[in-house]
């Protein structure tokens, strides 16, 4: 089991730890719903050192990326970030990733449990190319500050003009008294926020500095439990739940990250083009359910007595004040307003399909 460089910090903060993706990570410091509410109303600080951090260099770095990633990478300008997927030859999802374009390289963040497989997959497809993949996961730490107060908290700690850094953009800057920190306006909560990449030996000091600076603004340390609630409210997929090698990006609602650009022959393109042309047989939907029973992964979804699919993720949403979940159902049954039920240990619980995402900060509404 891998340990975060912030393990001692989590112990001092009284975190309850859990195993996740081969790592021992904090699942909560206090009540999960209170942590999620803090991110929506103020700010939260996350340890993301379990995520994989890779760099692709060389004259063919862009060619390699466009060979293995579904989204267009070659047109990206330095300072841009983009969501993409690694797919197998059948179009199934190997992983979902974030790609950051820097002047001389590509920086790629992958999921913790998929890191070794992703590295091997990318290197396999680098054969014959002037491209080198470096795994920087043990050299760099990754932390995130998320929430409406995040820019106000971080601004005094960096020389970067945060107001000028747009969403899904990144830049090198001095931050937390460290030079050359990669700072990105990205996140996994549905809120405004920033992800920072810094030397692993500076992780504890940087985390403490952010906690101290954010305390007057209501910032709290946040565990994986609240992070999962926040990403689900925002309609963001989690590998192993909404997406895996048995699902494809089209049916998962991720077609925006799949580009059939002429000349871009990425792995899995042909089967995905076929799905895009005919339409998927099933679709990922969101639903709200009634009563106190929280939907959990694997619970069966029904329309009357017809079995439609199963729950991918579910939780109690502090933002909406109700139970929410996701699942795959036949496309013909995927319209908002469709009445469902889910089997909770033999009891049928009423549910209704609603549009995704459940929550959007830009619309300032909740569904």
Would you state the CATH architecture of domain 53-135? Answer: 2-Layer Sandwich (3.30)
Alpha-carbon gap, residue 182 to 106, rounded angstroms: 12
Determine how β-strand 2-3 pairs with β-strand 23-28: parallel
Is CATH 3.20.20.140 the classification given to domain 2-51+138-233? no
The three-class DSSP label of residue 255 is helix
Would you state the CATH architecture of domain 281-366? Answer: Beta Barrel (2.40)
> Chain centroid to CA 40: how far?
17
Alpha-carbon gap, residue 256 to 83, rounded angstroms: 9
Q: What is the pLDDT of residues 346-365, one digit of tens each?
A: 999 999 999 999 999 986 54
Q: What is the pLDDT of residues 306-327, one digit of tens each?
A: 999 999 999 999 999 999 999 9
Quickly count: other Cβ atoms within 10 Å of residue 205's Cβ. 14
Alpha-carbon gap, residue 102 to 106, rounded angstroms: 6
pLDDT of 273 > 90? The answer is yes
With a pLDDT cut of 70, the percent of the chain lying above it is 99
- Tell me 265's DSSP state: -
Alpha-carbon gap, residue 143 to 206, rounded angstroms: 9
Q: What is the pLDDT of residues 179-210, one digit of tens each?
A: 999 999 999 999 999 999 999 999 999 999 99
In the chain, where the domains are located: 2-51+138-233, 53-135, 281-366
């Amino acid at each position: 089991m891998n340990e975060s460089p912030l393990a001692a910090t989590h112990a001092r903060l009284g975190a309850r730890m859990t195993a996740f993706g081969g790592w021992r990570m904090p699942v909560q410091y206090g009540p999960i719903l209170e942590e999620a509410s803090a991110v929506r109303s103020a700010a939260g600080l996350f340890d993301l050192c379990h995520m994989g951090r890779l760099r692709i260099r060389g004259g063919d770095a862009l060619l390699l990326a466009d060979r293995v990633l579904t989204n267009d990478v070659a047109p990206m300008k330095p300072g841009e970030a983009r969501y993409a997927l690694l797919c197998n030859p059948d179009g199934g999802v190997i992983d979902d990733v974030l790609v950051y374009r820097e002047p001389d390289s590509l920086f790629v963040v992958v999921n913790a449990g998929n890191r070794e497989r992703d590295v091997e997959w990318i290197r396999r497809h680098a054969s014959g190319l002037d491209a080198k993949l470096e795994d920087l996961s043990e050299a760099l730490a990754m932390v995130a500050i998320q929430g409406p107060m995040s820019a106000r908290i971080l601004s005094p700690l960096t020389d970067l003009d945060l107001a000028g850094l747009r969403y899904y953009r990144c830049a090198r800057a001095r931050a937390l008294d460290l030079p050359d920190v990669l700072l990105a306006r990205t996140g996994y909560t549905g809120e405004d926020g920033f992800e920072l990449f810094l030397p692993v030996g500076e992780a504890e000091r940087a985390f403490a500095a952010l906690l101290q600076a954010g305390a007057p603004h209501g910032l709290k340390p946040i565990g994986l439990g609240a992070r999962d609630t926040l990403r689900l409210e925002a309609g963001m997929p989690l590998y192993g739940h909404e997406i895996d090698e048995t699902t494809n990006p089209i049916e998962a609602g991720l077609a925006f990250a799949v580009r059939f650009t002429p000349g871009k022959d990425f792995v899995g393109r042909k089967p995905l083009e076929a799905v895009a042309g005919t339409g998927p047989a099933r679709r990922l939907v969101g639903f709200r359910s009634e009563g106190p029973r929280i939907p959990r992964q694997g619970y069966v979804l029904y329309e009357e007595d017809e079995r439609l699919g199963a729950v991918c993720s579910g939780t109690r949403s502090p933002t909406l004040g109700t139970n929410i979940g996701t699942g795959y159902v036949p496309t013909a049954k995927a319209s908002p307003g469709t009445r469902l039920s889910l089997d909770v240990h033999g009891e049928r619980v009423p549910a209704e399909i609603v549009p995704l995402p459940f929550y959007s900060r830009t619309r300032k509404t909740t569904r």
